[in-house]
Amino acid sequence: MKRISARDLMRTTFKDKTLIVLTGPTAVGKTDLSVDIAHELNTEILSADARQFYRELKIGTAAPEDFHLQKIKHHFVGHLSIFDYYNVSLFEQQALKVLETVFQKTDYAVLTGGSGLYIDTLCHGIDQLPDAEPEVRQRIKQVHAKEGIDGLRQWIKKIDPAYYRQVDLANPNRIKRGIEVFLSTGTPFSELRKKQYKERPFQIKRVIINREREELFSRINRRVDLMVEQGLIEEAIGLFRYRHLNALNTVGYKELFSWISNCWYLKTALEKIKTNSRRYAKRQLTWFKRYEDARWFHPDDKKEIMDYIRKKP
């Protein structure tokens, strides 16, 4: 009798299971829709919003409300502290374990969020690249502190021009990672990333929701105002002493930290949050346009979305 490996058994077990990837730009309406879809499919939600991983950043990241969490079980929401070390490789390992548990109970799981790197990692895997030694990270940190993000940009452009053309130049952490890999291995990050997809033992359906630009930008502006009403300013003040942590290098907090540091007026900081949130939304849409197998919908088209999800390949 032929011996069946654990890997083959997993493929056999989950080949008819489907991961629904529900994504879209910030403030488009992913949270409410994902809860509705998960409720209708009687399943659970995995978050792919890297900012919502941190329990201390509830208001500034628009984390799901308590009634969302009570209605549907969520994974990877507030499961970390801002002091914890975390990366996409850990997310991949943990998320696959969660999916294995969910798929033993139901035919669907919902992955939602706007962090494209985390979505891609769960769907296709990530190359195993080395972590940098503390001395390397400290060297990069010093350059960032002294020369700012422009110094990082010039550095990565010099050592890895191919990655410079690909990376989000507004994201210092992505740039730092490219520099880390080069300093640790002597090989450009762009050459080490093989971009070989891992085969997953389940099916994947991508749903991207979007709105007309004017409508989306209006929602972003309103959400910032709502965050302020909910206590965003007070939240940022309480976190100010930890502003050096990577988890806090994100829209909503860094602008308010500039106000707290007397660099900007409060009105200026709030306008910057809105501007930078709109820019972030545009970068997200650019990323999502790479998904050739995705279907695009307006968030109000729930019936059409459910029909697409339930349609057999």
Q: Report the predicted TM-score, pTM, of the whole model to 2 decimal places.
A: 0.81
Q: How confident is the model at residue 11 (pLDDT cuts 50, 70, 90)?
A: low
pLDDT tens digits, one per residue of 80-131: 999 998 878 789 999 999 999 999 999 999 999 999 888 988 998 876 666 7
CA nearest 53: which of 17, 77, 27, 89? 77
Q: Report the alpha-carbon distance of residue 144 to residue 151 in Å, rounded.
A: 7
pLDDT tens digits, one per residue of 19-64: 999 999 999 999 999 999 999 999 999 999 999 999 999 999 999 9
Report, as an integer, the average pLDDT of 172-182: 90
Q: Report the alpha-carbon distance of residue 247 to residue 100 in Å, rounded.
A: 28
Can you give the pLDDT at residue 194? Answer: 63
- The yes/no answer on whether domain 134-192 falls in CATH 1.10.20.140 is yes
Which residue intervals of the chain bear CATH 1.10.20.140? 134-192
More confident residue, 234 or 183: 234
According to DSSP, the residues that pair with 296 across neighbouring strands are: 208
The alpha-carbon radius of gyration of the chain (Å, integer) is: 20
Q: Report the alpha-carbon distance of residue 8 to residue 304 in Å, rounded.
A: 34
With 60 as the cut, is the pLDDT of residue 7 above it? no
Between the alpha carbon of residue 211 and those of residues 73, 296, 308, the distances in Å are 27, 10, 19
Report, as an integer, the average pLDDT of 303-308: 98
Can you give the pLDDT at residue 10? Answer: 54
Whether the CB-CB separation of 52 and 115 falls below 8 Å is answered with: no
User: Hey, what CATH topology would domain 6-126+202-310 get?
Assistant: Rossmann fold (3.40.50)
Which residue intervals of the chain bear CATH 3.40.50.300? 6-126+202-310
pLDDT tens digits, one per residue of 144-166: 999 999 999 999 999 999 889 88
